[in-house]
Amino acid sequence: MSKSTVPLFGYQSDMGRYVQQACDVYNHLANGVDEYCGGFDGKVVLDLGVGFQLIHGGLTLPLAIRAGASRCFGIDIASPGMHSSEPNKVEFWKAAKEMLSVDVQGLDEGRVYFASTDILHFDDFFSRIELLQMSASNMWFRDDMFDLVISNAVFEHVQNPHAVLKEMYRILKPGGTAYIHWNPFTGFRMGGHDIGMPFHYPWAHLRLKEKEHVKKLGEIFRNPDLFSTAFPPEHSPTAERAAIYAEDPGLFYKQIGYDLNRMRISEFLAYATSCGFEIAHSGFHCDESEKKYLTDDIRRELAGYSDEELLTIFHSAALRKPMQGRVNVNSVDGMKSAEPAKTPPGQVPSLARRLVNRGRAIFQRGRRIASDLGSRARPTNRSATERP
């Protein structure tokens, strides 16, 4: 078995358990969407950072469709097709289709996809799920396109969260909402992600220098009693993975830790308000049983952080774009400030413009197909008896 096919965590070896774990994460997100964003029903939805490279990446999209969304888009910096044929991914989606009745295609072919690309029948125009490789800080979508943006466990990884929030503001319709879950770096359980070892050395990612941290990780991965207990149960590595990490814990530290941006919750909220968002909700999600790890000595060592910051597992936020304005992408200071929404003179409203553009695209594609078929049938200058 290659390194790429070795399950990362124990629960990923049991596909039924893995599907349930992924569904639980979605349900937490969906509950917040229902409470703060008015649900999915009838909405055009973007999942920002859908996680194509993950075995379960994209599960939010068919579940959102099932919950009533009219159309869903998912974007990520990874290519949608790059991991679509991995055996573990195919097995996961077979289990998800059986357990959750999600609409997914290609499983009998050994791959995962959601829409046909048969250009002769234009099925791709009418797919309700669209997967795109795209940077969240420079999205291709038009202004005011989405009713709802959702994002889970992404904002701790993006290198310019302020730019991403500005783009989210731009693409949301006035009155639209972004609902976000993310894992701040300060947190006990998930702050350090897979380099964190909360139940062996609490807040190692805040308290240790890199050299000391790498040494501790090596000790853990070489000891089965430690790697099975040092991490949260949902992030305990398999014995096979631990053996791989033990070979070079320094490389593992760099691979996992390099993209954690160390943004604090106060910074995230300040970025959001500077972009024009109204903060409809901001929540710290903590486990009371983990307070015992925040000893007086550690509290003194980490005196610059609040107890909420240190104990939060994830932070949730509902960010609303005000009804009265749309984003101005041409402001001098680079900020996308609010201005009254209006249709410029001589331009048709956006819905009509989209329909016209779609009609033109279908027409042009039909012309190309007809031209291609015609060129194949067109007679040459050879005589009827001349062989090619």
Question: Can you read off the two tokens belonging to residue 215?
Answer: 């040494």
Considering only residues 38 and 339, tell me which one the structure prediction assigns the higher pLDDT: 38
| pLDDT surpasses 70 at 184 | yes
Looking at residue 289, what is its pLDDT? 93
Looking at residue 377, what is its pLDDT? 46
Query: Residue 316: which residues within 8 A CB-CB, separation 6 or more?
Result: 32, 179, 180, 181, 281, 282, 283, 285
Looking at residue 235, what is its pLDDT? 75
**What mean pLDDT is predicted for residues 273-295?**
96
Q: Which residue has the tokens 């038009």?
A: 142
Measured CA to CA in angstroms, residue 101 lies from 25, 51, 96 at distances of: 17, 21, 7
Question: Can you read off the two tokens belonging to residue 277?
Answer: 């968002």
Bridge partners of 131, per DSSP, are 74
| pLDDT surpasses 80 at 367 | no
Considering only residues 366 and 285, tell me which one the structure prediction assigns the higher pLDDT: 285
Q: Is 264 exposed, middle or buried (0-12, 13-18, 19+ CB in 10 A)?
A: middle
pLDDT in tens, 329-344: 433 233 344 443 444 4
pLDDT in tens, 114-165: 764 444 444 444 578 999 999 999 999 999 999 999 999 999 999 999 999 9
Looking at residue 387, what is its pLDDT? 35
**What mean pLDDT is predicted for residues 359-388?**
48
Give the confidence band of 13 by pLDDT, cuts at 50, 70, 90.
low
pTM attached to this predicted model: 0.78
Looking at residue 325, what is its pLDDT? 53
Determine which of 78-82, 96-100, 114-118, 236-240 has the lowest per-residue pLDDT on average: 114-118
**What rounded mean pLDDT belongs to the chain?**
82
Looking at residue 370, what is its pLDDT? 52
Q: Burial letters for 201-233: b for 16+ Cβ neighbours within 10 Å, e otherwise?
A: bbbbbbebeeeebbebbbbbbeeeebbbebbbe
Bridge partners of 286, per DSSP, are 312
CA torsion sign for 253, 256, 262, 264 is: negative
- Collapsing DSSP to helix, strand or coil, 74 comes out as strand
Q: Parallel, antiparallel, or unpaired for β 326-328 and 71-76?
A: unpaired
Domain-wise residue ranges, the chain: 195-257
Give the confidence band of 82 by pLDDT, cuts at 50, 70, 90.
confident
Considering only residues 341 and 248, tell me which one the structure prediction assigns the higher pLDDT: 248
